[in-house]
Amino acid sequence: MERNQRVAYFDGIADKWDGWEEDPRALRQRLREWLQRFAVARDERVLDVGCGTGNLTAALLEMLGEEGRVVAVDISPGMLRVARGKIEDPRVSWLLADVARLPRPAADCTRAICYSVWPHFPDRRRAARELWRVLRPGGRLHVWHLLGREQVNRIHATAGPAVSDDVLPPAEQTATLLAEEGFSVQQVVDDANLYLVTASKPET
């Protein structure tokens, strides 16, 4: 699927996205709980890749202190418009950009989170390389869905031609790709309710 078609799709659903969540408060709580498990520190600089309407960004801001920062990235102007309308916080930098070409310097962030976005990357290997570049040594990467892989793929298969081929691969496959690109993989979960691959960029 061409990038422009994918952008148009997400622009078209941006205003509807939050309304599809059955309980936004419950989602925020689940996100906070997982960020606590990830041990996000108050002074971190976190890259929120595919930030969408800003739900993870908002949860991160609750975890971070005054010195913390979020770099929120999305390819969809519509999604960024909705997110910026919800969140007015000087600790956030909003970027209209593709994960394969991030307009950030090397070693810019302490952590990168790809929440509910990994299937939408046309070239995941290139994405992994770019995430490696912008992470500091010791920085962590989370590829994460709060749904099981089969459910994610069923949703995409019926959501329309723009995303019908955006398949979430087995977590072990994602872990292998990250390891091939130099990451050290710490955790792999692929069950009915969670998809999570956590990896880090080695210190040296």
Domain residue extents for the chain: 3-200
Given a contact cutoff of 8 angstroms between Cβ atoms, the answer to whether 76 and 70 are in contact is no
Q: Interior CA angle at 136 toward 176 and 167, to 5°?
A: 35
Specify the pTM. Answer: 0.96
* The pLDDT of residue 21: 73
Q: Which CATH architecture fits 3-200? A: 3-Layer(aba) Sandwich (3.40)
Give the number of other CB atoms < 10 A from CB of residue 21. Answer: 13
* The pLDDT of residue 163: 96
How confident is the prediction along the chain (204 residues), in pLDDT tens digits per residue? 467 899 999 999 999 999 887 688 899 999 999 999 999 999 999 999 999 999 999 999 999 999 999 999 999 999 999 999 999 999 999 999 999 999 999 999 999 999 999 999 999 999 999 999 999 999 999 999 999 999 999 999 999 999 999 999 999 999 999 999 999 999 999 999 999 999 999 997
* The pLDDT of residue 23: 82
Task: Cite the DSSP H helix spans in the chain.
Answer: 3-17, 24-37, 55-63, 77-86, 124-134, 149-157, 171-180
Rounded CA gap, 43 and 41, in Å?
6
Amino acid at 45: R
